[in-house]
Structure 1
Amino acid sequence: MIKFNIAQWRAWAPGLESVDAWQAWSRQPALPENSDAAPDVSFLPAMQRRRLSRLARMAFSVGWPLAEGLEQLPLVFISRHGETPRTFEILSDLAAEQPLSPTQFSLSVHNAVIGLWSIMRGETSEMTALAAAGDGLEHGLLEAATLLADGAPHVLLVITEEQPPEAYASWIDDVPFPYALGLLLTPATTGSCPWAAMTVKRPGPNGPTP
């Protein structure tokens, strides 16, 4: 079993940007309307904002405020599908025998967001980008817990998924709307009310699996 505290959190989805909005949504969950809206990242210089896709903007919008005032903050970034719109553009250009953009390619890889985060914040702490199928939250918490156990006083966990292009509809059915979640995790302490996670055995084709 792993234990940890959630010191702060932030989340974003189209039309859901405040704590009150998310609390209301949790009482009556519903799909947000399709929207090209992107979160406000005006805290970044304009030159830096230009490089950010919506997925990156979502990650920065939930993560940056949580990192305020904290130095040497390890980051765990989770996304199952990553930059699907950029990837689709690259594949479309390739199919049309058009020249590929080195910038687009460099920003489409799975660890592009943490690379940009490191550059823009001047952050040199350990950073990890994971794609863990449908168990991203669980693997992200496990990765963050190991960093806390190794002595980190805080760990930032960011989970984000972009709405994939329509061409991927037959293969990607687990992203009902674009979203991002940021959790600032700290070690469980005496007298606190920590969260806990444990492994459970579930049936598998070859017997129980953790």
Structure 2
Amino acid sequence: MNGTALWLHGLSIIAPGLPDWAHAAPVLRGEQAWAHAPSVLPPAEALPAAERRRASRAVRVALALGLHALQGHDPGEVATVFTSSGADGHNCHALCEQLAGEDRAISPTRFHNSVHNAAAGYWGIATRSMAPSQVLCAHDGSLGAGWIDALGQLACDGGELLLVAYDSEYPEPLHTCRPVPDAAGVAFWLGTTPREQSLGTLRTTLVTDDPEAMAQAPLDALRTDFPALRCLPLLERIARRDERPVVIDYLAPQRLRVQFTPADHEHQQPRPAHAA
């Protein structure tokens, strides 16, 4: 958290109207208008058939985000941090519905999908990864908590790490209490040394400044509706190759100030960072 540069090798996004980074980047640059559409969740093809049938919306969005961010790199080699404000809302609803009825027997599948680390477990099955995995939840600050944990691991251990932040909706009546409108999330492939395709570097410091809002009202609604999308202003900076620091939400009064410096791919070095 002292502003040490970490390399950004890849990233991904799935959100309403933003099915992937290729579609999101021109919207974030203001070149295309955002149009509402339900989140597109790819099938969990990496899972065996039995697990694929059981994979929830939360699992599908988390797996797709991680695999897209890694851009074909062997996922089994990369440590992971999964962070979510609530994980599988539909499974939670089904368990509550079952317990509210006369037959309170819970199926083993429902039970093992109810734990907060289910997505990380399915990731291990899909990728056969034996790399370390961390799972976090900090309500609306879950993205920030995952970010800090990822930076801490890289500072201590070096190497590379995949951060996946995701959310999924709850059916009614829980939806009224927690109105997340759809499934969505982001993923960042981070490392301490550059790769040929690295996008640039990220420097993070803790501050108490107000978080930055998006200039486009529909995009700012995504930022506030989904805890996992609190970093949308940072994604806008990356899409625009804009080096100005941005403050993203965490747990008040703490915020994260992140500065993206685009890579000079000819020499694979970041351009000199502007003063934060």
**Given the two structures, how large is their TM-score scaled by the length of structure 1?**
0.83
Unpaired stretches in structure 2, ≥5 consecutive residues = 211-251, 255-276
Aligned to 1:145: 151
Aligned to 1:44: 47
CA contact (8 A) 2:85 2:137 kept: yes
CA contact (8 A) 1:84 1:164 kept: yes
- Counterpart selection for 2:205 from 171, 183, 198: 198
Q: Shift in Å at residue 198 of structure 1? A: 1.1
Once residues 124 and 193 of structure 1 are traced to their aligned partners in structure 2, the CA distance between those partners, rounded to angstroms, is: 28
- Aligned pairs for 1:97-112 within 5 A: 97-98=102-103, 99-112=105-118
Q: Shift in Å at residue 75 of structure 1? A: 0.6
- Aligned pairs for 1:27-66 within 5 A: 27=30, 32-34=36-38, 37-65=40-68, 66=70
CA contact (8 A) 2:46 2:127 kept: no
Once residues 156 and 111 of structure 1 are traced to their aligned partners in structure 2, the CA distance between those partners, rounded to angstroms, is: 15
Once residues 10 and 47 of structure 1 are traced to their aligned partners in structure 2, the CA distance between those partners, rounded to angstroms, is: 26
Q: How many residues align?
A: 202
Q: Shift in Å at residue 188 of structure 1? A: 6.1
RMSD between superposed Cα atoms in Å = 2.6
CA contact (8 A) 1:12 1:39 kept: no
Once residues 96 and 201 of structure 1 are traced to their aligned partners in structure 2, the CA distance between those partners, rounded to angstroms, is: 47
Aligned to 1:89: 94
Cα deviation digits, residues 119-177 of structure 1 (max 9, x gap): 3322222111111121222211111111111223110000111122121233213x243
- Counterpart selection for 2:188 from 156, 162, 183: 183
Once residues 167 and 92 of structure 2 are traced to their aligned partners in structure 1, the CA distance between those partners, rounded to angstroms, is: 14
Check 1:181–1:167 CA distance in 2 against 1; reply closer, same or farther (3 A cut): same
Aligned to 2:19: 17
Query: Which residue type is aligned with residue 107 of structure 1?
Result: N
CA contact (8 A) 1:74 1:152 kept: no
Check 1:143–1:29 CA distance in 2 against 1; reply closer, same or farther (3 A cut): farther
Q: Say yes or no: does 1:123 pair with 2:129.
A: yes
Aligned to 2:264: none
CA contact (8 A) 1:188 1:194 kept: no
- Counterpart selection for 2:74 from 63, 66, 69: 69
Q: Which moved more, 1:42-51 or 1:100-109?
A: 42-51
Cα deviation digits, residues 20-58 of structure 1 (max 9, x gap): 3212432367573457x5323334332331121111011
Check 1:163–1:70 CA distance in 2 against 1; reply closer, same or farther (3 A cut): closer
Check 1:70–1:109 CA distance in 2 against 1; reply closer, same or farther (3 A cut): closer
**Given the two structures, how large is their TM-score scaled by the length of structure 2?**
0.65
Unpaired stretches in structure 1, ≥5 consecutive residues = none
Identity %, equivalent residues: 26
CA contact (8 A) 1:7 1:184 kept: yes
Check 1:71–1:106 CA distance in 2 against 1; reply closer, same or farther (3 A cut): closer
Q: Shift in Å at residue 78 of structure 1? A: 0.7
Q: Shift in Å at residue 14 of structure 1? A: 4.6
Q: Which moved more, 1:108-117 or 1:192-201?
A: 192-201
Q: Which structure is higher in RCO with an 8 Å CA cutoff and minimum separation 6?
A: 1
Q: Shift in Å at residue 70 of structure 1? A: 4.7
Check 1:89–1:135 CA distance in 2 against 1; reply closer, same or farther (3 A cut): same
